[in-house]
Structure 1
Amino acid sequence: MQPLADRLRPQSIDDMIGQSHIIGKGKVLNKLIENQYIPNMILYGPPGTGKTTLANIIANTTGKKYVKLNAVNCGVKEIKEVIDATKRDLFYNGLILMLDEIQALNKKQQQSLLEVIEEGFVTLIASTADNPYFVIYKAILSRSSIFEFKYIEKEDILNGLKRAKDKLKTLYAYETINVEDKALEYIAQTCNGDMRTALNKLELAFNMGIDIGEDMVNVTLENVIESSSVKVLNYDNGGDDSYSTLSAFHKSLRGSDIDASIHYLARLVKAQDIQGITRRLLCVASEDVGLAVPQAITITEACVSSALQLGFPEARIPLAQATIYLAQCPKSNSAICAIDLALADLDNIEVGDIPLHLKDAHYAGAKNLGRGVEYKYPHSYPNHYIEQQYLPDVIKDKKYYNPSKNKNEIAFEQYWKSIKK
């Protein structure tokens, strides 16, 4: 039997759940369908959010042939065969090609695909769960409209489940079908914004609740919980979700929000991404805490080392320790700003030669070249300091390091001001 999610797939755009930023009265996708103007499209977003459903609806509103292919199990050869067959069929005035998982085609294959969509006979509607700017050939992107599908809000999922509940009696020949509201609320809470997952959970609980002897079905909170596996985590290692979670983790640490930092750490721990976590922690220790707390990198490295030796599940403890510590630390980005300014100068301006007195002078003949002759050894002077030029002549007055206003950097700044007087 066809899965419940497919049997209840919306047939018109007005029946679609969620995506209110692009779907709804007066919204862009509604207008495109109403005006019968269907451009090449890239539908980008998580599974179960309506990408395929939208493509089906678009196809039903045009006089063009609709073919759905999956790039995982077909190549350019199969795609061209479908196109050529459609061209020979005089009944159709064009083809809408729905290509799922377009990221499965490599760059060369995508370049070949570009040739067929440029002819104008084929309208491409491609879908991907990955960020299209990472996985789709730029020339295809430039010829397509990109629409992002987002995780569906819990309230929208719940409305969709209630709509499905009302249709169960027309789909199944049981005398009595009872569905608890609490069961639907639990499903909406645990499906992570995926309507297909929500309907699959409802279908599984429905089949568990069948009482053949009484010719009835009871979908209760208990059998929903019993039939549900662990809540699905939206995290694809190396994909858009993982990058976004790592980004949110880093930015929460930088923003000194302990609770948000721990929340995103928990997501990463759940996904077992220990490499991603440890890299972010070590980076934050230098990039965002830096010289405000110079020992932060040492403490973080100790926690990271402990986590890597322990492995999960115990690794979560030193990782949480480092996370809370870094979130609480005073912040300074003076180190990253200094090195990035210096690197920018190397790329953009003439920086000149190293001063002669700083050049290597350990070999015979160096003095004849004037190398190291005028160098002053700082330890031979009071306070182990003597003023001399270190930067090349053309940038001798450049200032790369600007201390942040925290106790450590202020103390060092005041120390050197007193010495240099």
Structure 2
Amino acid sequence: MFLSPVCSRSIPEKDINYHLDNNCSDVSIPSATQKFKSGTSSRSTQPSISSLFTPNSKTTRSDASFSQTPLSSTQRNSRKRSEVEDYRLPEQGHSKRSKQSHSDRLQSAAPLAERLRPSSLDEFVGQPHLTGPGSLLMHLLGSGATGSMIFWGPPGCGKTTLARLLAKRTDAIFKELSATDSGISDVRAVVEEAKGVLALTGRQAVRTILFLDEVHRFNKAQQDIFLPFLEQGHLQLIGATTENPSFKLTGALISRCRVFVLERLTDDDITKIVTQAVERPCPAYPHLTPKILSSIVSLSTGDARTALSLLELVLSSPPDADPDALLASLRQSVSTSYDRTGDSHYDMISALHKSVRGSQPSAALYWLARMLTAGEDPLYVARRMVVCASEDIGLADNHALPLAMATLQACQVIGMPECRINLAHLISYLAEAPKSTRAYQGYNRAEAAAKMDPTVPVPLSLRNAPTKLMKELGYAHGYCYNPDYASVFPVRRWMPLMCVSPTAQAPRYE
């Protein structure tokens, strides 16, 4: 006797196979002769043991469900698992369809600025000095020797879009990385893939363009990884940065790339981009009035990405929304772009200083307000004005420097927001004060003379003579004490002969 592995019943050895083929039913087991006569026809009408573990068709499952033969708990569990697997089959097919539309779902979830990127250079808006006919970039593109490039420009001016369109025009393999979340290992992987493509394509070499966004985020060691690959031609690099490449990129990398400057988009460019974006999805938006459109253009400040984000906010609002409330929401959603370590930091302090030097108090106060409202450190402005008090006002008004030092101390003690009043007081005074650069230019001339020959000795009459020996050597010989000569000053040589010049000090400008 054998113990059935399914129903745990004792079955004769000669009948165990028949028992299992009949799903452990209680039907009397025929003899060997009967089984021989029935042959295959008997087994063909009964489900096999495999039906316990493999999915059955719906017809088989339906017939089995109406069977009068009672099933053991093991059989019922097996049947339930089989039915569950059968019902999962349509879901697997749906999964395949889902995979096919995966990219479509990602595209629909992308922001409006990403969905509306132009697909060709003809649709690209702005930067006519780069994309216009006869430009250097278009000439290089036509010759097929674009080489590696650095795109330097403010956010939202089209750096990423232009790089993608260039790769599309040249039929190159386009790889995109961001320096914010990538490292040397990612670059090496792209390079190895590019080498493999070059080896496979042979003479008709297919180039690989690596677009590295925010390339200035790579440190000097990371930037050096590109040098051998660019020299050997394995890779073409297009880097995008919002920072000055002269300060953020190594000289070796810049020497292997062409730097193209992208300007901030004009109001006409932003208007064209927004108008085209509205016409694409649907031409009718009653709440997108000319006033709202002009506000979007003004608030974007030449940033196409910001403009399209504001447009998306407008389009998602109800058609009957209050225009004033909508405008207030747009203004609140835009943050001021000011980097205290970037170019705008130095550009604005330069504008402030030059406005003071040009005696333009209104312009100087405007740039001061721009800096302080954006979060600039007031001590930085105060220190710069201390320098301005001596450099530009100088001898024309000796009260300028004490006032600048008092303002610096006030900023240290009081702080923002009250110290903005002290700074406004100082800048207004300096802008309206008379100007003189005699001291500043006089020192510059003296410095140039001192660098001509730094080994020229001090004249003996001007040397110090604290000992008898030094006096015997002629130190301080011929020196006349000026207070002893009330009306006529003695004539003596105050500088080396080579430095004596009537133009040592600049003329007076008042």
Alignment partners' CA distance in 1, 2:279 and 2:322: 13
Alignment of 1:198-237 (within 5 A): 198-207=307-316, 209-210=317-318, 220=323, 222-229=325-332, 231-237=334-340
CA pair 292-275 structure 1, distance change in 2 beyond 3 A: same
Letter in 2 for 1:13: L
SS of equivalent to 1:169 = coil
Instruction: Find the partner of 1:182 among 263, 274, 291.
Output: 291
**Deviation larger for 252-261 or 94-103:** 252-261
Instruction: Find the partner of 1:66 among 174, 185, 191.
Output: 174
Residue 318 (structure 1) shift: 1.5
Alignment partners' CA distance in 2, 1:318 and 1:383: 46
Residue 195 (structure 1) shift: 0.9
CA pair 81-9 structure 1, distance change in 2 beyond 3 A: same
Specify which structure has the bigger relative contact order, considering alpha-carbon pairs within 8 angstroms and separated by 6 or more residues: 1
SS of equivalent to 2:211 = strand
Instruction: Find the partner of 1:162 among 252, 275, 280.
Output: 275
SS of equivalent to 1:147 = strand
**Residue number in structure 1 paired with 2:363:** 260
**Residue number in structure 1 paired with 2:344:** 241
Instruction: Find the partner of 1:117 among 226, 230, 252.
Output: 230
Instruction: Find the partner of 1:349 among 453, 470, 474.
Output: 453
Instruction: Find the partner of 2:145 among 37, 46, 51.
Output: 37
Instruction: Find the partner of 2:436 among 317, 332, 335.
Output: 332
8 Å CA contact 2:393, 2:435 repeated in 1: yes
Residue 78 (structure 1) aligned with residue 181 (structure 2): no
**Residue number in structure 1 paired with 2:402:** 298
Give the paired residue count. Answer: 396
Residue 52 (structure 1) shift: 0.7
8 Å CA contact 1:19, 1:149 repeated in 2: yes
CA pair 188-397 structure 1, distance change in 2 beyond 3 A: closer
Letter in 2 for 1:97: L
SS of equivalent to 1:304 = helix
8 Å CA contact 1:256, 1:328 repeated in 2: yes
8 Å CA contact 1:351, 1:395 repeated in 2: no
SS of equivalent to 1:66 = strand
**Residue number in structure 2 paired with 1:192:** 301
Q: Please list every run of at least 4 consecutive aligned residues from structure 1 whose deviation after the TM superposition is greater than 4 angstroms.
A: 175-178, 216-221
1:81-118 per-residue CA deviation (whole Å, 9 max, x = no partner) reads: 21112221335622111111111222232223111111
1:47-101 per-residue CA deviation (whole Å, 9 max, x = no partner) reads: 1111111011111112221111112222333212211122213356221111111
8 Å CA contact 2:140, 2:146 repeated in 1: yes
Letter in 2 for 1:119: Q
8 Å CA contact 1:55, 1:125 repeated in 2: yes
Alignment partners' CA distance in 2, 1:385 and 1:368: 26
1:116-148 per-residue CA deviation (whole Å, 9 max, x = no partner) reads: 111122111111111111111112222222111
Alignment partners' CA distance in 1, 2:492 and 2:268: 68
Residue 2 (structure 1) aligned with residue 110 (structure 2): yes
Residue 303 (structure 1) shift: 2.4
Letter in 1 for 2:308: L
Alignment partners' CA distance in 1, 2:322 and 2:154: 28
SS of equivalent to 1:22 = helix
Alignment partners' CA distance in 2, 1:270 and 1:112: 41
**Identity percentage of aligned residues:** 33
SS of equivalent to 2:466 = coil
**Residue number in structure 2 paired with 1:106:** 219
Instruction: Find the partner of 1:251 among 333, 336, 354.
Output: 354
> Normalized against structure 1, the TM-score is what?
0.86
Residue 230 (structure 1) shift: 6.1
Give unpaired runs (5+ residues) of structure 2. Answer: 1-108
CA pair 230-346 structure 1, distance change in 2 beyond 3 A: farther
1:343-370 per-residue CA deviation (whole Å, 9 max, x = no partner) reads: 2222233561111222222356432332
Give unpaired runs (5+ residues) of structure 1. Answer: 211-215, 407-421
Letter in 2 for 1:283: V
Alignment partners' CA distance in 2, 1:306 and 1:184: 44
SS of equivalent to 1:21 = helix
SS of equivalent to 1:99 = strand
Letter in 1 for 2:477: V
> Normalized against structure 2, the TM-score is what?
0.72
**Residue number in structure 2 paired with 1:413:** none
Letter in 2 for 1:148: V
| Aligned-residue CA RMSD (Å) | 2.5
Letter in 1 for 2:486: P
**Residue number in structure 2 paired with 1:381:** 485
CA pair 396-31 structure 1, distance change in 2 beyond 3 A: closer
Letter in 2 for 1:187: I
Please identify the structure whose Cα radius of gyration is greater. 2
8 Å CA contact 1:303, 1:322 repeated in 2: yes
Residue 398 (structure 1) shift: 6.2
Letter in 2 for 1:155: D
Alignment partners' CA distance in 2, 1:360 and 1:382: 24
Letter in 2 for 1:278: A
Alignment partners' CA distance in 2, 1:331 and 1:13: 52
SS of equivalent to 1:366 = helix
Alignment partners' CA distance in 2, 1:50 and 1:255: 36
Alignment partners' CA distance in 2, 1:389 and 1:79: 67
8 Å CA contact 1:303, 1:318 repeated in 2: yes
Alignment partners' CA distance in 1, 2:268 and 2:285: 26
Alignment partners' CA distance in 2, 1:105 and 1:317: 41
CA pair 230-246 structure 1, distance change in 2 beyond 3 A: farther
SS of equivalent to 1:43 = strand
**Residue number in structure 2 paired with 1:320:** 424
Residue 250 (structure 1) shift: 1.5
Residue 49 (structure 1) aligned with residue 152 (structure 2): no
**Residue number in structure 2 paired with 1:138:** 251
CA pair 146-97 structure 1, distance change in 2 beyond 3 A: same
